[in-house]
Structures are given as C-alpha cells and as structure tokens.
Chains A and B, each alone.
Chain A
C-alpha cells in the first residue's frame, strides 16, 4: 500500500504520509495515512476548529437549550438557520443562536461582565428555557475569562436554571475533532449523574453519536419504540439536556458515530459499567444486523426481526431499482470523519457503485483503518485534504459523483462533477430503510440529471446542440439495461413522501409491560 504523493503537494513534502493507495495483497500494516495532526502550513485545509466541533457539531443539536457562544457573534453565526439537525420542538436550537457579542473593548477590559448580562438577558427573553450551554471561543480564552465562575454566579442567583460550560476554544486542537473530545469529556465529568430518570422499560439504551440530521434520529427512535426500548437519551441530536444528565442509568450504549462520541461511551463503560455496542444505521444489511444485535442483547430479537422483515419487504424493491442504474458508477467518498467507514462497503454492496477514493477531513488514524478496510483494492485514501489535492484526485480518478461537504462540493461542481452533501444530506434522512432509498434516489438524480447535457458543454469552444431536446434522466440511465430489468414488475422508484419524518412524531406505539422485579 504505497504512500501517494500529489503533484500539487510536492512543495509540502510532509503531505506524502497523509495519502495511500490500497494495493492488491496489502493490508493496514503496510501503510496508514497520518491523521489528527495539525494542518501543515501552506496546505489550505477544509477543516473546522475545535470550538466548531464542540458547539456546532455536538452541543447545539440539544434541543431544549439556549446555546451561547462567549465571543464575537461571527463565531456562533454558522448555526443560525444553517445546520440541518432538526428537532421535534420546532427547531428551537436552529431558530435562535446566542453570543455574548464580545468586541475589542472587552478584550482590553475583560468580557465576564458582558457575559453575565447576556446570560441573564437570554434566560429572560426565553423564560421557558431553563437550560444553557456556554462555549468558550479563542478571544475570550486568550484573555482568561472565567466562564465557569460566571455560570456558578448565575446559577446561585437563578436556582431554577442549569448551565453547562464547554471550554473548547478554536485553537484547542488540530480540528473540530479536538472539540468533540473536549465536550464529551466535559459532559460526563460535569453533568452525567446529576439527574435520576424515570425508567419505563426493561430495555434502556443511550443512543450515542447521532445528530438527527434531517431526522435520522427520529427514524431510529421509531424502530427502538417499536421494539419497546426506552431511549434514555440521545447524544445529542433531538436530545434533551436533562435526559443527557441521566445517561448513567442506561443498560447499553448504542454508538453510531464513534469518531465524535466514542469518548463518552468509553468513559461510561469505565465509570458505570455500561457496555458499548457500535452499530451502523445506514444500509439494509448493516442496519438489520444492528437492530438484531440490540434485540439479542435484551432477549427481544423477534421484535427486531419483525421490523427488519416489514421494512425490507417495503423498501428493498425500490433500492434495487436504483442499484440496477448505479452499478459501476465511480464514487469519491469524501466526508468529514465517520461516513467513510459507515458507507464505503455498503454503498458498494447495496447500490453497486465503486468507491474509488475515501478521505476524511478530521478523522483519526482509526477512522482510516476502518475506511480503508472497507474499500476495494485501488482506492485512494487521504487525510486532511486541501482543495488542490481534491482537484488533482478528481482529474486522476474521473468520478461520476462525490459525496462531501458543501464547500468542496461546490469546487467539484465547477469541474462538472456532481456532488451530494455527505454531512447535512440533500433530501434526507438517509438512515433507516426508507432513508437509504432516499439516498439512492439522490445519487441517481445527481448522476443522471439532464442539466449535465448543458453544464458539461464549454460555450467558448463546444458546439451547442440547439436543435436537440433534453434527454430525461430515465432515457440516459436505462439505455443499457436488460429487458428483464426494464420490464420488472417488482422494481420501482421511490414512492415515499417528500417529508418522511413529520408523521413519525404523531405515531403511537404498543405498550410492552415492564416485568415485575423482586428486590
């Protein structure tokens, strides 16, 4: 597995150890990209900062909380109506964002006073909200503001409120991953064990590393509810502050994104003896295996199997319609941290696409181990990419589509390669059986969009076919399909609703009686 040197990065020789090509007969012990290191000066990274990782990724998906950045308003702006971690309380955490509005004068004279004013003002403006998280930023960390002390003062003056302080300024790590770590550890140290929950089921889990992107958590919650499992807390998508203070009473931690949340699972295991079960919520087979494992753990595997059978029968014919049309398409799987391993193998197996490259913006070497292990031979894997490397890889690999974030995605579009948003999705949720079909539909629509017939033409030199009409997506995708596939009476396109989440919020579930226990 030779290290790969990008032409554009020859002037940054350290970059060579951040990229490998998976060779035949080789394994992870031959070569592994470096990871979770400071970005090399000169390489224009796509990463976020440690504050972003703590607040914008993990903290803010909590729904019943005033999330306040202690710093300039610019730091907090990136969550205001822009993130897609929705919630079932009218998206309070997306509709409102808060900052202490630190300015130059506060850097000179201190910003603790203005912070306290802002905390009280925010609670008064939203009297129904009694919980708050406060995030340190670079400027206020450098001047040494004692945010914990201010939070304590306010909690003494307003005993009905509870405040969590996260000390993860932007510079406190090589990437957003440093912030994931800091907020995980801070939450278990400061908040877990401070609330005793009401236990309503014999089967109690924390659902960890799940951020309810476009409703992912609510899809999975539906399965857990149908199994009679109490989800004590979700860390943190659509999660509740006080429920997350009660994580210590779960029987099992079900871990989805290990990159951002394995720390708290590991600590819960050490401190409270709660086992950690890593799962995959994406794709029919991995999701079925995951539900079955959770069922087995509690001895209710027949409930899991009923869901697997029902959902597979409903959605598999639709997934297979897309698979027939996506076979052999070349994919660059370029997400942030965990989706390279969540998706690499299952995309290949269940949609027939070939993963020609994986990268991770902020993953660690462990993520690369998982991602490379799940790729086929020949894939290019690289860490902390820069824009020029991305463009060089596109030129070298000629992908049909790229799954990445919106910034590198727009770069790909400029060289006429379609992209799908791997972080926030296009038309998600992508978790669950229906969600996986929605993802397949988005991939199909991106690759076969009729717009490419125009966008791939260069008006400065290509002849523009003004006399020809557009070909529809189906006309393009179906041209080489067999008669058997074309005339299939079982395969069909996605038939779900535009909004697959709202109805879940109205559902009722069967009651599973709790077993009587003799003390």
Chain B
C-alpha cells in the first residue's frame, strides 16, 4: 500500500472536501480545533480513552468520531496498522492540516484580534 506521505494525502483530501471544523475564522480557533479533534481522533483509532468531561470536549469528540468512522470505512489499510503507526500517521496529518489551514495559510483574516 501507499507510503506514509500518500496515506496522509488521502486523509487530508477527505478532511478538506468533507469537513468544516478545520476552517474556523481565526488562527487560535483553528489551532484549538485541529489539536482537539485530531487528538481525539487518534485516541479513538488507537482504542484509547477519550475525555468527554465538558460540552466543548463532546463537540470535539463528535467531529473526531465522525472523522474516524469515515476513515475506517474508506481506507481499509488503517485496520492493519499498529497503534504506533497510527500515532505517527495522525501526527503527520496534524502537521499537514496545521500547515494548510494555519501556518501556511494565505488568509489575511486569521490574525484579526476580534471576531
């Protein structure tokens, strides 16, 4: 199957075409969204416990769960990956999504201090 880079590209393509959570309007919100949703998605894929203490946690979790269900349905190779490999994959995905939506973004409004 594809190497890590190609796998990340497939997951990124899904997120960019199907999800909205990565495109909040300010850099700090995008950072929160990417970090929390992709961390919870990693926990779900690895079978680890997911914190659901607050309403914010639950909101991140529903996006994360929806994402992981779609990944598992579309990409059978995920099932064959070990926990460590999944963590490496999701870390690479997080770096890529952060780059496209925050650090490499050309959106001049991201740093506007007010909503």
Contact = CB atoms under 8 A, between A and B. Distances in A.
Contact of B55 (A251, A292, A366): A251
A364 interface: yes
A274 B55 contact: yes
Nearest to A264: B115
Contacts of A286: 18
B59 A252 contact: yes
A276 B99 contact: no
Interface string A185-223: 100000000000000000000000000000000000000
Given A29-B100, A297-B59, A374-B16, A369 B107 contact: yes
A29 B106 contact: yes
A275 B62 CA distance: 12
Contacts of B55: 251-252, 273-275
Contacts of A294: 62
Given A27-B100, A274-B55, A370 B23 contact: yes
A247 to B, nearest CB: 15
A266 B59 contact: no
B65 to A, nearest CB: 6
Given A365-B109, A373-B17, A275 B56 contact: yes
Given A267-B115, A293-B66, A275 B107 contact: no
Interface in B15-30: 16-18, 20-21, 23-26, 29
B63 interface: yes
B100 to A, nearest CB: 6
Contact of A369 (B63, B65, B101): B101
A324 interface: no
A280 B108 CA distance: 25
A364 B66 contact: no
A112 interface: no
Interface string A358-371: 00000011100110
B100 A345 contact: no
B66 A292 contact: yes
B109 A345 contact: no
A156 B59 CA distance: 42
B47 interface: no
A258 B20 contact: yes
B15 to A, nearest CB: 9
B110 to A, nearest CB: 8
Contact of A275 (B16, B59, B104, B108): B59
Interface residues of B, number: 29
A119 to B, nearest CB: 31
A397 interface: no
B88 interface: no
Contacts of A391: none
A200 to B, nearest CB: 19
Given A28-B106, A263-B115, A293-B62, A370 B56 contact: no
Contacts of A43: none
A454 to B, nearest CB: 39
Interface in A151-180: none
Nearest to A269: B56
Contacts of B24: 262, 266, 276
Contacts of A345: 17-18
Residue from the set A266, A274, A279 with the largest chain B CB neighbour count within 10 Å:
A266
A36 B110 CA distance: 13
B83 interface: no
A276 B62 CA distance: 12
Interface in A27-59: 27-29, 31-32, 34, 36
Given A280-B20, A366-B109, A370-B23, A29 B99 contact: yes
B105 interface: yes
Given A280-B20, A373-B17, A366 B107 contact: yes
B58 interface: yes
A297 B106 CA distance: 33
Contacts of A296: 61-62, 65-66
12 contacts: A27-B100, A28-B100, A275-B55, A275-B59, A276-B24, A278-B20, A280-B20, A364-B25, A364-B107, A365-B108, A366-B109, A369-B23
Interface of B: 16-18, 20-21, 23-26, 29, 55-56, 58-59, 61-63, 65-66, 99-101, 104-109, 115
